Amino acid sequence: MAISYNGLWKLMIDKNLQKKNLIEDLNISSATIAKMGKGESVSVDVLERICEYMNCNIGDIMSFEKEEIKEVYEKK
């Protein structure tokens, strides 16, 4: 499964916020924001701070997306 932070990015647009607001207001590193941009996992502490700041639940800012698994069968 892959992590998607699309909910966070959409919520930030709705609230007219930029990534630099999270960096400055919540003391989140730019490296953590970059990880989120790539769909990588971040600590629950970071997610909790974002939820508190945005006044939302964790499901509003992130979700798990199923990845398609391709299997290659060899002919014998």
Each domain of the chain, given as residue ranges in start order, spans 2-65
63-65 and 2-4 beta bridge pairing: antiparallel
The pLDDT of 19-26, averaged and rounded, is 96
The angle at the Cα of 53, spanning 19 to 15, to the nearest 5 degrees, equals: 60
Q: Which range among 4-18, 34-48, 59-73 shows the weakest confidence by mean pLDDT?
A: 59-73
**Mean pLDDT computed over 21-31:** 96
pTM value?
0.81
| Sequence-separated (6 or more) residues with CB below 8 Å from residue 12 | 18, 19, 21, 22, 54
Q: What is the pLDDT of residue 71?
A: 47
Q: In this model, does residue 50 exceed pLDDT 60?
A: yes
Q: What is the residue type of 49?
A: R
CATH topology of domain 2-65: 434 Repressor (Amino-terminal Domain) (1.10.260)
